Structure 1
Amino acid sequence: FTQDISLIFMKIADTQQEALFSMMDLVNLVHSEEDLTKILDFLVQKIAKLMPSDACSLYLYDQVTDEITLRATHGLNHDLVNNISVKKGQGLAGKTIETLKPLNISNSHKNPDFKEIDGLNEDAYNNYLSVPLIYNNIPIGLIAVQNKEKVKFKKKDIEFLTSLTGTAVALVEKAKFKGTVETISIPSNQINDLDHNENDTTIEYLKDHLIKGIPAVPGIAMGRLKIVHHAFARRHEIDAENSQQKEIELLKEAFEVVSKEIKNTKTKAEKQFGPDEASIFEAYLMFLESESFKKQIIHEINGGLSAVKALDKIVSKYMDRMAEAHDEYIKERAYDIQDVARKITNHLLYGKSSDTSNYQCDEDTIFCNDFWSISDFVNIDLNKTKGIISANGGASSHIAILADSLNLPAVLGLESAVSQFRDGDFILIDGYAGHVLVNPSDKIIEIYKKEIIELEKQTKLFQQKKDQKVRIGTTNKHQISIGANLSMIVHTNAALDSGADMIGLYRTEFPFLVRKQMPTEEEQYLIYKRAIDMVDGKEITFRTLDIGGDKHVTYLNMPAESNPALGWRAIRFFLERKDLFRIQLRALLRASVHGKIRILFPMISSVEEIIEAKKVLDLVKKELQDENQIYARKIPIGAMIEVPSAVEMAGALAELVDFFSIGTNDLTQYCLAVDRTNPLVAKYYDPFHPAVLRMVNRTIQAAHKAEIKVTVCGDIASQPFLAALLIGMGADQLSMIPRAIPKIKYLARHIDENTVIKLAKKCLKFDQSHLIRNELKIYFKEYRLDEMIPQERVHVMDHLLDEE
């Protein structure tokens, strides 16, 4: 018995070891191989051997066409790869995507869901086992194995095949990131025409043509699609007779020309966006001016490659490394490299770095791009552009920030869906819900046009008295200030136009993120002075540098961390790098003579941190005095309350600072142990959670007991239901995205102070978030506020689907 057990474990160990080496082979292959077909062929061969099984096939799913296409097979008819597709729900493959569960069937060809496909030869196999491939909660395909034996696949087979799906998903997604996934064009007679059928009901049409992305910039836009065709691609070789020296000369010439073009584009961007935003081009120039980067390419040329192939090889290495990163910033820097490399390649091949025809458009155009660089935004005609969509990017990405600054509705993160779009398609963008409709029906267009008219009416309503201070209640004693959160100077005008009473939070990270080296004291001083000058005498709260976590600054050589959100960031970083902390504080103090400023320290978790930060500030003040530098003597100092320990210590912290700023986005995340950017747990991120609201209330009460004021920042300040609660709790200031200011000011003028205080007290007693929401809905209906607030109205698409 013991010997039998040992043999079994040895067999298991052998299988696992073979699986490990096979997966290592796959990883090595995806690094060296550019052809996805070869990668997938290798994958199905390995899985068939490891199971073992007589056949293994891989299908990829396209959510635009709702088609599941055979992309690789070992055991079935290979001639049908890329040539057969089924709809979701059709056949066993379609059933797997529909249910998103493993499917284990014996005598599969007799199963009612079995769909026979001519020439595929599936009827030769008795048993069928499939598992879905899922990425970010979205199905991207499936793996199916089949056997001729009449014995059903066992539980351990299901578990083993499921364990391999992670590797399969990673390979497919990495290939997409590197641009090696080719779009398969199914013949038009095999897919539904995207143009709508007038006989379709609205609901049926929505289900087939509604594409969900990430809502990045709110707004509704519609128009004809213009695709920017400049994805980095392998092209034909230049003159094969060129000598190595000639190739090196061509490369150096391309570097020089592209560098000049980027500097010219940077000048245009400075006029359009401002110097801080245009400084993103410093990253481009950093690659072009990097001797190491250039030497690596020349080394490959000396090894026998052409300039184009050598550039391609080195850039692929960089992309491979950066593809391992999961955060948005690193990925965006990867696209910077890709954008520069594309420009160099185009110059080598065609004598020009970009095609201006990419941006020529008619009136009412929706632009689609795999990834938007700032040079793209500089080149598009803003008078004709109504909105943008993109395969990549998130709500907090640089693309979103730039689109927002231009007031362009944007839906991002559409991934492979954009591969099925065609130039000239009529596109409708719902930037509120993150929806994109391709060639929508007349009925849907009409619904949205009515929605646009309704939103315009409400915008005009909210704009009334937006520039006036808000006093709440019949006594008019409680004055609340409504301010703006800013990340870039370019947003200052939008904040003032929206009626901001102050800049409640100015994030100082952007100039650090886009430069190739630390901004000097003088550079920082000029940035802060410019921001102060632009706010026209209003108070501005500067938050000291909050890097680390999801904000990477490469030139500071910060160590990699397994959990950066809980790592070396914000005030923790600055207290250990006081040399850098002093530089920013000196710049802020020098700028303070130009207007009213407050200084805010982020991510405070203990009394010791505030004491230490204030010591550094006092030291800087003494330095400036010794140098006869002038600065404002009375600058309010604040602590950002965004971790539970700071809430617990709020009473003690309040004795040490002049104000609190509650960072509700991070506080909610840390309180609930939820990363809201992780789609697997994002549903648990709930600002209505009783624990979150009680923490906010405790902080406000502790501040008022110490007679200091409280600003509440983050998403909850811009949500009408929660804004009403915050006012009831006694918040002194709310700070939010500029576009939300008129709406929240309108809300504040139309609520009664006494009733909203009672409402807050009642809601804070509830132990479940849905009870809080229900109570708020009752209040809003009673005071006729629900129809006045667009954000609380159901999105058009959701409403139609709910009706169904």
Structure 2
Amino acid sequence: MTPTAATSAAREILTRLHDVMAARTNAQAKLNRVVNIIGEALTSEVCSIYLLRDGALELFATRGLNQDAVHVTKLALGEGLVGTIADQVETLNLDEATSHPDFAYKPETGEELYHSFAGVPIVRRERAVGVLCVQHEASRRYDDVEIEALQTVAMVLAELIAGAGLIDEHAAAGRGAREVGPVRLTGLKLVSGMGRGHAVFHQPRVVIEHSIAEDTEAERHRVYSAFRQMREQIDRMMSQAEFGVAGEHQDVLDTYRMFAYDEGWSRRINEAIDSGLTAEAAIERVQQRTRTRMRSISDPLLADRMHDLEDLSNRLLRIVSGQLGTAAQVGLRRDSILIARNLGPAELLEYDRRRLKGVVLDEGSLTAHVIIVARAMGVPVLGRVADIRTTISEGDELLLDAEEDEVIVRPTAAMEEAFEGRLLITQKRRAEFAAMRDLPAITTDGRRIALMVNAGLADDVAALDVTGADGIGLFRTEFQFLVSATLPQRDRQQRLYKEVLDRAGDRPVIFRTVDIGGDKALPYLTHASENEENPAMGWRAIRLALERDALMKVQARALIEAAAGRTLNVMFPMISEPWEFTAAHALFERQRAWVQGRGRPLPTLIRYGTMLEVPALAEVLDLLLPQLDFLSVGTNDLTQFLFAADRANPKLAERYDWLSPAILRFLARVARECNAASVPIAVCGEMGGRTLEAMALIGLGIERLSITPAAIGPVKAMIRTLDAAALRACMSGWLAQPPPDLRAAIRDWALRNEVAIG
């Protein structure tokens, strides 16, 4: 079936369905007519409708299967192909139904005659309330345009069965009576912090009352008008967004605005209107297609950009329908915690920051655009929280503690008291750490430890003044690439690097060259191995940069020109063998010569270093050290490579300990070699930001740490109570003959010696 034929078939079905919905017959008679209309239009031998009733999917109408099976055949959610479609809210398209692992044979239907199968969920308020499916005797996959026609019809069916009172709202909600007692929900910390407030749901759902268009041109004009209003809203919002200084969040909003003006998106909505849908139904139809794509996207960056498009779809749907807007439009009347499935960056900006105390998301990820904006706003965010819509009611009191990865719903008085105690302690400790800002990080036996911060945004440089850190030990330059719709040009990169150096003043900044590729894929940078099974160990970082050397040349020139008259510290990621460092070093030196040849000012000095993340590099470190000005150990990647344990796998996240003999022996050997060669060694990773782990690193002879700004205070407090020489003597013995629980031994030593490990 051609796209034109599919649109024509969808229009024919919708026209006939309009007559069915207007007819004065009972709901069963209407559904019986519907399956015949769809079957005839798609020349399908079987067409069936299953509806969710009393928690099971019941066969309500069929063309082609045994009529005796109607209201007899029932499938549980997740049972069989139909149950899988409803449970996963996904489409199935199979040339041989029995080959699917979830296939369940129901003999009373007579479906053994049919081989091919396609089914789509009937969705109402984001939940599957039924399934529409077709079958053929011959084995064949249905064309994409046929599937789209089914999905369009399923939208209209949702309206029909809701109007007929056939939707089991209780079963569709997937829950019994709502809990009323306290509940503790866990998630993933996306932006650190604590907050207390009442639950406010971000987005009341727009209920589409009419799906079939009476006048296609009138619907098109409604969409055009809504697009104009939406774009005006976004332009006005962006002009009013204030963060004090420019930062990468501005790039995020620019990308968001680009989506709003995307012609491909508006074209798809117009095509849906052509098929006979109203403006609201057309937007919802395209939005459902977007959600389907999101579920199949493993790349977090691309998935986050699809979320931006979903955010815009919601905004457009609210405008065209004239229905109630988000909670931001109504206004927050008291301290609130915002609840949402996901958020777009512009939507977060609409809220009153004085009353918005936190955000809890059903989805969300560390790379999401909204997280960049939330961090700039100083709003704590907890993501990946399951069951928020089934557990939390509008107005419930919430205690959000992103530091502990939890939100408490409807807390008891004791829970509130404990939360307030933690909040008070946190505030008190912050005050104590702030009082230490200008004190040096010196151990009790006189060892000066350099405490640096990790950064990725221009705004992050402010942490130097707030924490009293010695400099930036890791500036992740890839962030500018990840939030941009296109490859950042040299002048844009240069402005960022110069701003960072200007704001850092005389404090050192170590720029890590771009670490993209693998699981940090960019839509504008493709390669032959896009579906890597192990992206962390794939075509990324220095491997990508040396192959696509034009990208690295541009970055090198931008860094060299930005650091004119100053010291430039450059660090290469993911170095596995000395030749990779040599090649990257030579590339930078050629760009220095290029800049010098054009009479432009140069840095007074360029210092070159490398990340040690790949264990193989430790075996040839003696060959590389003479070429290095400094070395930084990236403990996050190093740990997963040493233990062959994917750090993104929740089952393995806590399995391997940073204070295990394997890690500490490895780091001790690297530290000895670096110190013997007089090459400064640092640790830049999460390990160095934990007080007990940081103490152990100092015990190995590592005296430079680059950590998150929030960790500077606690780690400095630990250092100022630590006798480094005494610890090193103990560490030597522990590593030679490890105790059964090395972590416990280190912690006990710290407690006995009154080290402030928190």
1:680 aligns with 2:651: yes
Q: Distance in 1 between matches of 2:633 and 2:624?
A: 13
Map 1:608-647 to 2 at 5 A: 608-647=579-618
**Counterparts of 1:250 and 1:216, CA distance in 2:** 38
Out of 314, 317, 330, the residue aligned to residue 286 of structure 2 is 314
The answer on 1:221 being equivalent to 2:168 is no
* Paired position in structure 2 for 1:735: 706
Deviation at 1:308, TM superposition (A): 3.3
2:518 aligned partner: 549
Q: Residues 460, 766 of structure 1: CA spacing in aligned structure 2 closer, same or farther, 3 A cutoff?
A: farther
CA offsets, 1:339-366, max 9 Å, x none? 11122222222299x5464562234322
Aligned match of 1:486: 455
CA deviation vs aligned residue, 1:383-433 (integer Å, no higher than 9, x gap): 222222111124564444443443333322113333331121011122222
Kindly provide the CA deviation profile for residues 708-765 of structure 1, in whole angstroms up to 9, marking residues without a partner as x. 1112111110111110111121223101110110111111111012112123323333
Are the counterparts in 2 of residues 216 and 434 from structure 1 also a CA contact under 8 Å?
no
Aligned residue in 2 for 1:41: 57
Q: Residues 218 and 431 of structure 1 are in contact (CA less than 8 Å); yes or no, is this contact kept in structure 2?
A: yes
CA distance change for structure 1 residues 173 and 212 in 2, over 3 Å: closer, same or farther? farther
For 1:172 and 1:220, the matched residues in 2 are separated by 45
- Match of 1:382, SS state, is coil
Is the Cα–Cα contact under 8 Å of residues 272 and 378 in structure 1 kept in the other structure?
A: no
Q: State whether residues 282 and 514 of structure 1, in contact with CA within 8 Å, keep that contact through their aligned partners in structure 2.
A: no
2:473 aligned counterpart, secondary structure: strand
Q: Any idea what SS the aligned residue of 2:417 has?
A: helix
3-state SS of paired residue (2:749): helix
Letter in 2 for 1:763: W
| Structure 1: segments with no counterpart, 5+ residues | 1-28, 61-69, 75-81, 83-132, 141-158, 165-170, 197-204, 791-804
Residue in 2 aligned with 1:534? 503
1:624–1:774 CA distance, 2 compared to 1 (3 A): same
Contact 1:484 1:736 (8 Å CA) reproduced = yes
2:412 paired residue among 441, 461, 486: 441
1:360 aligns with 2:331: yes
Task: Give the match for residue 248 of structure 1.
Answer: 220
Per-residue deviation at 1:505? 0.8
Q: Structure 1 CA distance, aligned partners of 2:286 and 2:737?
A: 59
Following TM superposition, by how much is the alpha carbon of 1:528 offset from its aligned partner in structure 2, in angstroms?
0.9
Deviations 1:242-270 (A, max 9, x none): 343x4334333333332232233233345
Aligned partners of 2:189 and 2:382 also within 8 Å: yes
CA distance in 1, matches of 2:413, 2:505: 47
Q: Given that residues 393 and 412 in structure 1 are in contact (C-alpha distance below 8 angstroms), is that contact kept between their aligned partners in structure 2?
A: yes
Going from structure 1 to structure 2, the CA distance change for 1:635 and 1:716 (only over 3 Å counts) comes to: same
User: How much does 1:300 deviate?
Assistant: 3.4
SS at match of 1:635: strand
Question: In the TM superposition, what is the alpha-carbon distance from 1:272 to its structure 2 partner?
Answer: 5.6
Q: Distance in 1 between matches of 2:454 and 2:351?
A: 27
Q: 2:443 aligns with which of 461, 469, 472?
A: 472
* Map 1:390-469 → 2, pairs under 5 A: 390-395=361-366, 397-469=368-440
1:283 and 1:344 map into 2 onto residues whose CA distance is 17
Equivalent residue for 1:504, pick from 473, 483, 488: 473
C-alpha contact (below 8 Å) 1:533/1:594 kept by paired residues = no
3-state SS in 2 of match to 1:437: strand
Runs of 4 or more consecutive aligned structure 1 residues displaced over 6 Å after TM superposition: 32-36, 42-45, 70-74, 159-164, 171-178
Check conservation: 1:498, 1:741, Cα contact below 8 A: yes
| 1:709 equivalent in structure 2 | 680
Aligned pair count reads 640
* 1:348 corresponds to which of 304, 308, 320: 320
CA distance in 2 between partners of 1:554 and 1:585 (Å): 22
Determine helix, strand or coil for the equivalent of 1:649: helix
Query: Unaligned regions of 5+ residues in structure 2, if any?
Result: 1-43, 67-71, 90-99, 106-117, 130-167
Q: Which AA in structure 1 matches 2:226?
A: A
Shift of 1:683: 3.1
In 1, the alpha carbon distance for the partners of 2:332 and 2:707 equals 35
Residues 253-272 of structure 1: pairs in structure 2 closer than 5 A: 253-269=225-241, 271=243
Shift of 1:299: 3.2
Moved more, 408-417 or 354-363: 354-363
Deviation per residue, 1:209-259 (Å, 9 max, x gap): 22222233343322211111256x562348944343x43343333333322
Between the aligned partners of 2:128 and 2:606, the Cα distance in structure 1 is: 55
2:76 alignment partner, one of 41, 58, 71:
58
Q: Is the 8 A contact 1:466 1:745 kept in 2?
A: no
Kept after mapping to 2: 8 A contact 1:222/1:366? yes
Asked if the contact 2:576–2:616 (Cα under 8 Å) also holds between the matched residues in 1, the reply is: yes
Deviation per CA, 1:527-558, whole angstroms, max 9, x where unpaired?
Answer: 11111122233111111111112212101124
Task: Tell me how far 1:593 sits from its aligned partner.
Answer: 2.1
* CA deviations over 1:411-459 (Å, ceiling 9, x no partner): 2211333333112101112222212211111112112222222333333
Deviations 1:770-803 (A, max 9, x none): 6211111111211223xx444xxxxxxxxxxxxx
The answer for the alignment partner of 1:289 in structure 2 is 261
Q: What SS does the corresponding residue of 2:230 show, helix, strand or coil?
A: helix
**RMSD between aligned residues:** 4.0
Three-state SS of the structure 2 residue aligned to 1:271 is coil
| CA distance in structure 2 between the partners assigned to 1:350 and 1:571 by the alignment | 51
Match of 1:180 among 111, 127, 134: 127
Q: Within 2, Cα distance between the matches of 1:320 and 1:767?
A: 51
The answer to whether structure 1 residue 323 and structure 2 residue 261 are counterparts is no
- Counterpart code for 1:498: T
**Aligned partners of 1:59 and 1:72 also within 8 Å:** no
Q: Distance in 1 between matches of 2:452 and 2:737?
A: 29
Alignment check: 8 A CA contact 1:223 1:365 kept: yes
Question: 1:517 is aligned with what amino acid?
Answer: T
8 Å Cα contact 1:359-1:380 kept in structure 2: no
Shift of 1:629: 1.4
Counterpart in the other structure of 1:697: 668
CA contact (8 A) 2:49 2:60 kept: no
Per-residue CA distance 1:51-92 (angstroms, 9 max, x = gap):
xxx9875369xxxxxxxxx99999xxxxxxx9xxxxxxxxxx
Change (3 A) 1:683 1:359: farther
Report if the CA contact (8 A) 1:222-1:427 is conserved.
Answer: yes
Deviation at 1:691, TM superposition (A): 1.9
Q: CA deviation at 1:493?
A: 1.6
* Rounded Cα–Cα distance in structure 2 between residues aligned with 1:422 and 1:71: 33
Determine if contact 2:125/2:207 at 8 Å carries over to the other structure: no
What secondary structure is seen at the aligned counterpart in 2 of 1:41? strand
1:467 and 1:726 map into 2 onto residues whose CA distance is 23
Q: Is the 8 A contact 1:484 1:735 kept in 2?
A: yes
**Range that drifts further, 287-296 or 177-186:** 177-186
What letter matches 2:634 in structure 1?
G
Flag the 1:488–1:44 CA change in 2: closer, same or farther, 3 A: farther
Letter in 2 for 1:597: L
User: What is the distance in 2 between the residues matched to 1:698 and 1:172?
Assistant: 59
Question: Residue in 2 aligned with 1:383?
Answer: 354
When normalised by structure 2's length, the TM-score is: 0.76
Residue 784, structure 1, aligned to residue 754, structure 2: yes
Matched position secondary structure for 1:556: coil
Shift of 1:298: 2.8
Mapped contact 1:717–1:734 kept (Cα < 8 A): yes
Taking only the aligned residue pairs, the percentage that are identical comes to 25
Instruction: Confirm or deny that 1:235 pairs with 2:204.
Output: no
Asked whether the equivalents of residues 466 and 746 of structure 1 are also in contact (C-alpha less than 8 Å), the reply is no
Q: Distance in 2 between matches of 1:304 and 1:57?
A: 32
Indicate the SS of the match to 1:684.
coil
CA deviations over 1:263-308 (Å, ceiling 9, x no partner): 3323334536734212112333333333333333333333433333
